[in-house]
């Protein structure tokens, strides 16, 4: 499982022109079953994604395809987590 942090860079002002592509990229990640949760980092600091069913190298490639990353609107950090315990509602993440 992975946590992807997309933190705004000095290019944050250009986010508007790449927003549509970024939204398409997010939707594709959800439809592919890779992204479990997508949301905003507060206060207005960027975004965060919970991802699974992928390898680190595949996720790095996917993240590199995000227009926000490609155009340096955000910097990406990927944290890998090996889950060992979960609430029963999230036990599917343990496998």
pLDDT tens digits, residue range 45-88?
999 999 999 999 999 999 999 999 999 999 999 999 999 999 99
Q: List pLDDT tens digits, range 1-31.
A: 999 999 999 999 999 999 999 999 999 999 9
Closest by CA position to 40, among listed 81, 68, 10, 71 = 68
> What is the per-residue pLDDT for 93?
87
Rounded CA gap, 81 and 50, in Å? 10
Tokens representing 38? Answer: 């997508």
In this prediction, residue 92 has a pLDDT band, given cuts at 50, 70 and 90, of confident
**Whole-prediction pTM value?**
0.93
Res. 95: pLDDT tops 90? no
């Amino acid at each position: 499982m992975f946590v992807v942090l997309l933190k705004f860079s000095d290019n944050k002002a250009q986010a508007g022109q790449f927003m549509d592509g970024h939204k398409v990229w997010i939707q594709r990640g959800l439809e592919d079953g890779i992204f479990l949760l997508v949301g905003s980092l507060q206060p207005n600091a960027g975004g965060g994604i919970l991802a699974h069913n992928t390898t680190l190298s595949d996720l790095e490639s996917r993240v590199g395809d995000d227009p926000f990353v490609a155009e340096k609107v955000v910097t990406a950090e990927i944290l890998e987590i090996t889950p060992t315990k979960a609430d029963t509602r999230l036990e599917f993440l343990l496998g």
